[in-house]
Amino acid sequence: MLLSQTTSNSDVTFSPPSLTFTPLNWNIQQTVIVSAAEDDGGDDDTATLRLRDLNINQYDTSVSITVKDDDTTAGFVLSGKALTVVEGDTTGATFNMALATEPSGQVTVSFTADGANKDDVELSTNSHTFTDANWNTVQPVTVTVDSDTLSSDGAADIDVTASGGGYDDVTGEVSVKLKDSGAADLAFPASLSIEEGGNGTFMVRLTQVPDDSVTVTLSQSGTTNNDVTFDTDSDDSGNQDELTFTTTDWNTAQPVIVSAAEDNDAIEDTATISLGASGGGYGSTTGSVSITVNDNDTAGFEISKKNLSLTEDDSDTFTVQLTTKPSVSVTVTLAQPTNTDVTLDTDTDTTNNQNTLTFTTANWETAQTVTVTAADDSDEAPGAATINLTAAGGDYASVISSVSVSVADKDITLNTDDSMEPNEGVITNLGVRLSDKPSHNIYVRSRMGSGSADVTRASASEYLVFTPENWETDQQIGIAVAEDPDAVDEIASTLILSASGFGYDIDEKRVTINSLA
């Protein structure tokens, strides 16, 4: 049967290009491997695979293929989703945005003020345009409030909507606190998002002229996260925790650098940095910034072999460990394959086959061994199986993977003619090949048996070597028949072929040689 793709999707490939069924193997399943390439988009791919019988044109069917995309779904990357804006401050507060995945076309993102104080809010732009070239380039939006607009503190929301490029249903929101300039306060963002192993900066300033110098002290509040640190003065050694404002520089924003250390788990860390002012009429002023750390680790399995090649009555192993430190103990369950000739065991020291592995916060990066065994069956067909791995516990609840197993049949035969009729005075070749693909090299020995002394093997080596790569390619054995003066055919001779290698059950083959005068 010929396999072909009726849709043009270069990300989807399949192997092999054809399947052969005979009167002997018509009811034995054959495997078609379908592969999907990685792409940058967030959409699921599709393809259609057509299967046709080219000999009798009786069978023509198709299989629909859906590729589940592993990229983040379409969405916004918003930095600074909670802002504080002081009335009359021309600097305002800024949030940045980009797209989470590459769009299928041009995307227009619109920004609209909403909420009780929506009419008091001014935006630096009402829209941004993203394409497949700049979709992940951060673009800013600045929010300001005119002087003498507010009579008291207020609030508004910035609605973020998109259209085009597969983003039609994507929305977002930025909350804005509006501060009346009549009150002494601190101006700073409500939140900051940084990458694990990196750092970010938020700015702090006063909203009005102080009576005297003001000291702003920063500290972590709530549960202390030792992976998150901050520094108010990078020019001094160590991490500083104070900012000082005077009557002349009160409205000059000063930076606070927040750093997140690398860790070996896949959990997104958080922290809260509290700010408290003292002096200059700011004695009761406080606030806090929420820190979110985007973890760069992904919970998953590290599997030593994703593809195992076995021979019947043979076994092999692969190892499993976790890629990140789990939050609690994790149990990995391995499903026994539907092919009952293939079994697995996660603990060979225990009676019967076990199928679970347990990883803790202490041994998560220690590889554990899984033994896979293929039984010897009576057919001459290769086998295949899939071992599915599923995790449970902590931050590994949705982690899955699989290992593919191919089984080469031990019941291989030698394919060649049963007899041949070479002429005197020339060398006649006899082609030999294997009936099935072996997992290891097979050595075929040729030697002359009973018959005429005038009939000899002409090949230099008595051995043919078949590998998993050349098993179905004919290799030649030369048979020579010496010239003699009579016109009488020689008596029948016998060429004996015997094979060995890696425990294969291969029957001896005898070829009758009837030489012609």
- Provide the mean pLDDT of the chain: 86
Q: Which of 65, 71, 3, 63 is nearest to 36 (CA)?
A: 65
- Beta strands (DSSP E) in 68-210 are 76-79, 82-86, 93-99, 107-114, 121-123, 127-130, 139-145, 154-163, 171-179, 186-187, 191-195, 199-206
Whole-angstrom Cα distance, residue 477 to residue 233?
84
Give me the CATH code for the 301-408 domain, please: 2.60.40.10
Contacting residues for 449 by C-beta, under 8 A, at least 6 apart: 493, 494, 495, 496, 510
Q: Which of 179, 204, 220 is nearest to 277 (CA)?
A: 204
Strand 254-260 to strand 228-231: parallel, antiparallel, or no bridges (unpaired)? antiparallel
Give the range with max mean pLDDT: 14-18, 215-219, 324-328, 408-412: 215-219
| pLDDT tens-digit series, residues 424-478 | 888 999 999 988 788 788 899 999 998 888 889 988 789 999 998 998 899 999 9
Q: Which of 339, 407, 409 is nearest to 24 (CA)?
A: 409
Tell me, what's the pLDDT at 71? 54
Whole-angstrom Cα distance, residue 206 to residue 187?
6
Tell if the pTM clears 0.85, that is, is over it: no
Give me the CATH code for the 76-294 domain, please: 2.60.40.10
Average pLDDT on 213-217 reads 96
In this structure, what token pair is assigned to residue 383?
């086998």
Whole-angstrom Cα distance, residue 515 to residue 69?
66
Whole-angstrom Cα distance, residue 364 to residue 320?
10
Band (214; pLDDT cuts 50, 70, 90): very high
Domains 76-294 and 301-408 share a fold: yes
Tell whether the model's pLDDT for residue 268 goes beyond 90: no
More reliable by pLDDT, 141 or 423: 141
Tell whether the model's pLDDT for residue 73 goes beyond 80: no
Query: 């059950």: which residue's tokens?
Result: 505
Domain ranges of the chain: 2-67, 76-294, 301-408, 414-513
Query: 């997104």: which residue's tokens?
Result: 268
Classify 414-513 by CATH class.
mainly beta
| pLDDT tens-digit series, residues 103-130 | 999 999 999 999 988 988 999 999 999 9
Query: How far is the CA of 391 from the CAs of 288, 299, 400, in angstroms?
Result: 38, 10, 6
Alpha-carbon torsion (387, 392, 395, 398), positive or negative: positive
Alpha-carbon torsion (444, 450, 453, 454), positive or negative: negative
Could you give phi then psi for residue 179, rounded to 5 degrees?
Answer: -105, 130
**SS3 assignment, position 68:** coil
